[in-house]
Amino acid sequence: MKTVGQLAVDSLVAQGIDRLFCVPGESYLGLLEALNGCDEIDTVVCRHESGAGFMALADARMTGRPGVACVSRGPGACNAAIAVHTAQQDGVPFILFVGQVAKDDVRRDSFQEIDYGQMFGRIAKWTAEVTDPNRMAETLLRAFQVATTGLPGPVVIAVPEDVLTAQVEAATVQPQARVRGAPDPAALEQLRGWLAEAERPLLLAGSGLENEAGRTALKDMAEAWNLPVLVSFRRQDLFDNAHPLYAGDMGLSNPASQLELLRSSDLLVTLGARLSDITSQGYSFPKMVRPEMRLAHVHADPDVLGIHFAADLALASDPVACARALGQPQAALPDRRDWLSALAAERAKIRAVTDKEQPDGVPFARVVEKVGANLTEDAIVTVDAGSFGAPIYRAIPFRPPQRLLAPISGAMGFGVPAAVAAGLRTPERPVICFVGDGGLLMTGSELAVALERELPLKVIVSENNVYGSILLHQERDYPGHWTGTTFTNPDLETLGKAYGCAVTRLETLADLDRLPELIARPGPQFIVVTSSVQALLAPVRPAAKHEG
């Protein structure tokens, strides 16, 4: 006999989970008791449930296993909801345990009670509430399968506090075989024929390739078939950005000239990516619903195929297996030199950094450019949401095994928790976090975990006292009307010192010459950059200034 809480912990260990993130609550003391003395799981105590959730997501991105977070009922679950939404948008396997009110109090509008099935609705892939202790093993089995099968995503498990302490006779839930779709031989042969005859092909790579095997398979396929590679939104670390076959990313503001060129493609092979909003440029590339070019779409989840764009070939299969199975071409391929040159020329325009010094601070693009030129080959870069980060995706030449951890969902507050999780997972690798002052003040308190665990994170803060992304839109639509987008910061340098970091402020372009040495220093570094709002607003108003 064991408690339900002990069954859960033993099953997590059996599934290969060696770390979980939590903010404690009285509603799941039975689970915390089972974690007591468990050497196989590192219990990371966070400062806010959103931070715990973001850390779990970043850890999942690093390991390929589900990230696990534990929170209390009501307010705890509400705070963690942002991580559930981010996991759904980002396609990350995530399991959220929520302590629930006692079994007899469920659905009585009890203190801090929520019906999590209604609350999470379609955000989670599956939501379970375990009121029968004998159903816990079955629930855990299904949770791991749902979180990792097809398009990965979030599962929420609510367990009443008295169920967690109930005794059960149940075996530890062991790993089961992953559901995989084998590549269809006839479909692969058809795709080989299309690849062999296409004069202007494109390969669009996505999250289904986000592991070492996927990156290797992508590189091998691209080189074998001489295929230019686009990556989906914020997935720059899938393919060497300096490779002659790298054609760029599908981001938030691809220029019209590039999209016009891409639309002249005669074959688009989408491998492990969803053709969702941003990757498809607002559902405009390819043309909806019948693309202007031949479209082959390969994804592990059949539910993402044929949703917005009619595919000429749709394979519900493991994209890594498909890439490998294509093998080598059997005959000479068409001459694609002009096509590759045109794509490279467009890519070069996008990468160019031309921002000059401004009277109100440093253009943050220049910071990014300097850091990108000095990244080590094993660096991990985490990025918070916000317009300050836009240059990161075009100016840093990522190349595997470097990693980029950024929220596909655009969730503010991701950057610092992700850096902490990356530092915990790979303490031997340098971790650089780019964060705006808005995002820092949302979840920067998780630097307390970095202080506790002595993580040598390099945190680069863009301080401009505005919510930059919103201000950019506001200035475009309502010039000079800066309402609700400005704020006052505390002394960020003192804040950085409070978290045990060596602190530096950079205020001019000349100061940026110190960046290579700062990010190479041992120990935690907290670098505050006085960032230019003028440079931020240049795309919508070249001479923008606050008109009050």
Contact 385, 412 (CB under 8 A): yes
Residue 123, number of CB atoms within 10 A of its CB = 17
Alpha-carbon gap, residue 11 to 7, rounded angstroms:
6
Reported as a single tens digit per residue, the pLDDT across 406-421 is 999 999 999 999 999 9
Coil, strand or helix at 19 = strand
Contact 281, 212 (CB under 8 A): no
Q: Is 107 left (phi over 0), alpha (psi -120 to 50) or beta?
A: left
pLDDT at 179 over 90: no
The residue ranges of every structural domain in the chain are: 2-168, 185-350, 353-537
Q: Residue 180: pLDDT band by 50, 70, 90 thresholds?
A: confident
Contact 503, 463 (CB under 8 A): no
Domain 2-168 in CATH: superfamily? Thiamin diphosphate (ThDP)-binding fold, Pyr/PP domains (3.40.50.970)
Q: What element of type H or E holds 458?
A: strand 458-463
pLDDT score of 206 = 97
Alpha-carbon separation of residue 91 from 31, 57, 63, 425, 527 (angstroms): 27, 10, 14, 20, 32
pLDDT score of 539 = 82
In this structure, the strands spanning 167-168 and 2-3 are antiparallel
* Segment 350-365 mean pLDDT: 82
* DSSP assignment of 205-241: E-GGG-SHHHHHHHHHHHHHHT--EEE-TT-GGGS-T
Q: Residue 123: pLDDT band by 50, 70, 90 thresholds?
A: very high
Structure tokens at 205: 């790579």
Least Cα distance to 60 among 152, 145, 128 occurs for: 152
| Residue length of the chain | 548
Class of domain 185-350: alpha beta
Q: Residue 354: pLDDT band by 50, 70, 90 thresholds?
A: low
User: Which fold would CATH assign to domain 353-537?
Assistant: Rossmann fold (3.40.50)
* Segment 124-150 mean pLDDT: 97
Average pLDDT of the chain, as a whole number: 95
pLDDT at 331 over 80: yes
Q: Residue 190: pLDDT band by 50, 70, 90 thresholds?
A: very high
Q: Hey, do 2-168 and 353-537 end up sharing a CATH topology, with the first three levels equal?
A: yes
* Segment 157-168 mean pLDDT: 97
Percent of the chain with pLDDT over 90: 91
Least Cα distance to 436 among 470, 412, 457, 417 occurs for: 412
Reported as a single tens digit per residue, the pLDDT across 479-512 is 999 999 999 999 999 999 999 999 999 999 999 9
pLDDT score of 353 = 65
**What is the Rg, in whole angstroms, of the alpha carbon atoms belonging to the chain?**
24
Amino acid symbol at 141 = L
Where are the strands (E) in 275-374, listed by range?
Answer: 294-299, 313-316
Q: What's the number of CA atoms in the CB half-sphere (13 Å) around residue 332?
A: 3
* Segment 125-135 mean pLDDT: 97
pLDDT score of 348 = 87
pLDDT at 289 over 70: yes
Structure tokens at 128: 């379970």
pLDDT score of 125 = 98
